[in-house]
Structures are given as structure tokens and as C-alpha cells.
């Protein structure tokens, strides 16, 4: 038996216990099933459109990757604290360790790889989420101090390179009732492109349950596309501090059947709300946008 064999055996049993705890944790983590629908949403609302699932999965995957790195780092810290602490019998300074090139290269390369993986998946999903692909409906969302207006099927598309009339015919607008949040109506299961414009300052358009938001900038037209999947009324708000009544810049998002959506547009036209309200942008020719 070695001179310090007496303090080695409790260490050995502690090491064994730690190893079995780690194995048990790993088995539990893998055996409980890792389908994205089973994973906790970690603070994210339940997505109510197709695109929201991409955002949610990116969020969950980032958490899993971060926790895996965290577990490795915490494990190494615990390992050092438990098994490489100063011995009671030995008081001398342990061997010092420095200028180890392979180790320092590892410290640099591993974080670079981790950041590159995060960057790749974020860029891939962002490209996917901001892509516009032949939407069925076009809605011009107009932000102004301090509310929202919605130009449904606006008659002139305001893409930088397009000045075509909307093939779906005359538009309709909704500015809501003064003192109440306006309601954005959307058809379930059909793709909708939002063209975001501002009449004054920068606002932020955030239909919360679609897990997507985008800035609404004067003189600029921003776009994104959603396909609502769940019927119901959801929340929306401005996410850019835009003045004293910013907190009141709320709206509702009402997802209805396509027939109800068309009926609502017909109602608006019947009330004299055909056409569009000023969007803050006028189109004066292809590629030429003016305030
Ligand atoms: Cu605002």
C-alpha cells in the first residue's frame, strides 16, 4: 500500500460516484425523448404560424448547445476542485503549467468552431425567415405616432423594383377605433407578405405569437412573410421606443378563415374604407422611393 493510500480510496469511491451520476444524467437526458415538440419552449410563446417553428427550434437548439458547453465547463471545474485540490499531507507548490502551444491553440480553435456553428445556423434560418416567396396576400403595415394602420391588398406594391397594381384588386384599409388597439385580420393557412412603412419615426412591428419582429423605418420598406396556422386573437406591439405614447402602440392579430377574411375586407369597403391610407412612402418609379 502506498504511503497516501489511505486518502486515495475515498477519492476513488467519490470518483466512481461522480462517474455514475454523470452516466445516469446522460441516460436520463437521452431517454426522455428529444423531439422539438417535447422540448420546453424556454420563455418563447407557442408559435401560431409556420415560420415561428423555425425560430423556436433555433432558440431551443442554441440552449441545448449552450447547456452542453456549460455542463462540460462546470464538470471540468468540479473535477479540478474535487480531485486536484491541495493535499493535506503535501504543502509544496504544484508543478506550474504555462506556454503550452497545443493547449492554447485548442482554447482558440474550439470557441471559433462553436461561434461558427451558431453563426451558420442563425444566418441560414434568418435567410429563410426573410425570404419572400409568392405570397397570396399583401398587407402594408403603417406605423405612426402612436398607432398602426393596415392597408389590405394595397393597390401598388412598394418593392424597390416593382410598381405593379396588386392583382387582387381594390384594397381596403383599417385604422381601428380611436382609443382602442387596432386589429390586423389575417387568413388562416394562406401566406401573407407584410410591407412595413412608417410615417414619422422608427417603430418596431412585433406580432408576438409569430415569433418575428422587424423595424419600421421612415423612407424604407421592410418585408417579411408569414403563414398563420392557428385561429384566434393574439397580441402585437411596437418594440422601438418611439415617443411618449410608445407603450400604447398595441394591436391585435386576429386569424380567421379565408372566407371570413374576404368578408371583413368587403365590410371595410362597404363602410367606405376602400383603397389605402398614406403609407409614408410614395412610389415615383421603379427603384425610386420617396417620402
Ligand atoms: Cu412605435
Contact, 41 vs 56, CB < 8 A?
Answer: yes
Mean pLDDT computed over every residue of the chain: 83
Residue 151 has a pLDDT of 92
Q: How many CB atoms lie within 10 A of CB 191?
A: 18
How far, in Å, is the centroid of ligand 1 from the Cα of 51? 24
Task: Give the alpha-carbon dihedral of 6, 8, 9, 10, to 10 degrees.
Answer: 100
* Distance in Å, CA 220 to ligand 1 centroid: 15
Residues 107 and 237 placed together within one structural domain of the fold? no
Among residues 79, 101, 129, the one where a domain terminates is: 129
Q: 240 CA distance to ligand 1 centroid (A)?
A: 5
Q: Are the C-beta atoms of 201 and 218 separated by less than 8 Å? A: yes
Q: How many domains are contained in the chain?
A: 2
Question: Hey, what's the cell of 285?
Answer: 418609379
Ligand 1 center from residue 216 Cα (angstroms): 9
Instruction: Please report whether residue 240 resides in a domain.
Output: yes
**Domain termination residue (choose one: 129, 154, 179):** 129
Distance CA 223, CA 131 (A): 9
The CA–CA distances, whole Å, from 120 to 114, 117, 139 equal 10, 5, 31
Task: Using the mean position of ligand 1's atoms as its centre, give its distance from the Cα of residue 157 in Å.
Answer: 23
Assess contact for 287 and 158: CB atoms under 8 A. Answer: no
pLDDT over threshold 70, residue 9: no
What SS3 state is found at 206?
Answer: strand
Question: 215 CA distance to ligand 1 centroid (A)?
Answer: 10
Find the CATH number of the domain harbouring 278. Answer: 2.60.40.420
147 Cα: distance to centroid of ligand 1 (angstroms): 7
Enclosing domain of residue 254? 137-290
Residue 223 Cα to ligand 1 midpoint, Å, equals 17
In the chain, % of residues over pLDDT 70: 79
Asked if residue 75 and residue 56 are part of one domain, the reply reads yes
Tell me what the mean pLDDT of segment 195-203 comes to: 94
Strand (E) or helix (H) holding 104: helix 101-129
According to the model, what pLDDT value does residue 288 have? 35
Q: Measured in angstroms, how far is the CA atom of residue 237 from the centroid of ligand 1?
A: 8
Do 117 and 218 reside in the same domain of the chain?
no
Whether 84 and 170 share a structural domain: no
Average pLDDT over residues 233-238: 96
Residue that finishes a domain, picked among 99, 129, 159 = 129
Count of other CB atoms within 10 angstroms of residue 230: 14
Tell me: do 269 and 242 sit in the same domain.
yes
In a domain, 239, yes or no: yes
> What pLDDT was estimated at residue 188?
97
Amino acid at each position: 500500500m502506498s504511503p497516501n493510500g489511505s486518502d486515495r480510496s475515498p477519492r476513488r469511491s467519490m470518483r466512481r460516484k461522480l462517474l455514475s451520476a454523470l452516466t445516469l444524467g446522460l441516460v436520463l437526458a437521452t431517454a426522455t425523448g428529444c423531439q422539438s415538440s417535447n422540448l420546453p419552449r424556454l420563455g418563447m410563446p407557442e408559435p401560431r404560424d409556420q415560420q415561428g417553428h423555425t425560430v423556436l427550434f433555433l432558440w431551443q437548439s442554441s440552449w441545448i448547445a449552450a447547456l452542453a458547453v456549460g455542463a462540460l465547463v462546470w464538470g471540468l471545474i468540479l473535477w479540478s476542485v474535487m480531485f486536484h485540490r491541495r493535499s493535506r499531507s503535501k504543502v509544496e507548490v504544484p508543478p506550474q503549467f504555462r506556454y503550452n502551444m497545443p493547449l492554447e491553440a485548442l482554447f482558440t480553435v474550439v470557441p471559433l468552431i462553436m461561434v461558427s456553428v451558431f453563426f451558420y445556423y442563425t444566418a441560414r434560418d434568418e435567410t429563410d425567415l426573410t425570404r419572400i416567396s409568392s405570397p397570396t396576400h399583401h398587407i402594408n403595415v403603417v406605423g405612426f405616432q402612436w398607432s398602426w394602420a393596415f392597408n389590405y391588398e394595397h393597390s401598388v406594391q412598394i418593392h424597390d423594383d416593382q410598381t405593379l397594381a396588386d392583382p387582387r384588386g381594390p384594397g381596403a384599409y383599417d385604422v381601428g377605433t380611436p382609443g382602442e388597439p387596432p386589429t390586423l385580420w389575417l387568413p388562416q393557412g394562406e401566406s401573407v407578405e407584410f410591407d412595413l412603412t412608417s410615417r414619422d419615426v422608427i417603430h418596431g412591428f412585433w406580432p408576438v405569437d409569430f415569433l418575428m419582429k422587424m423595424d419600421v423605418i421612415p423612407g424604407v420598406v421592410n418585408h417579411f412573410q408569414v403563414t398563420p396556422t392557428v385561429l384566434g386573437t393574439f397580441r402585437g406591439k411596437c418594440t422601438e421606443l418611439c415617443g411618449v405614447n410608445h407603450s400604447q402602440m398595441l394591436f391585435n392579430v386576429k386569424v380567421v378563415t379565408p372566407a371570413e377574411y374576404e368578408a371583413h375586407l368587403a365590410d371595410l369597403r362597404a363602410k367606405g374604407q376602400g383603397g389605402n391610407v398614406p403609407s409614408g412612402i410614395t412610389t415615383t418609379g421603379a427603384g425610386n422611393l420617396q417620402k
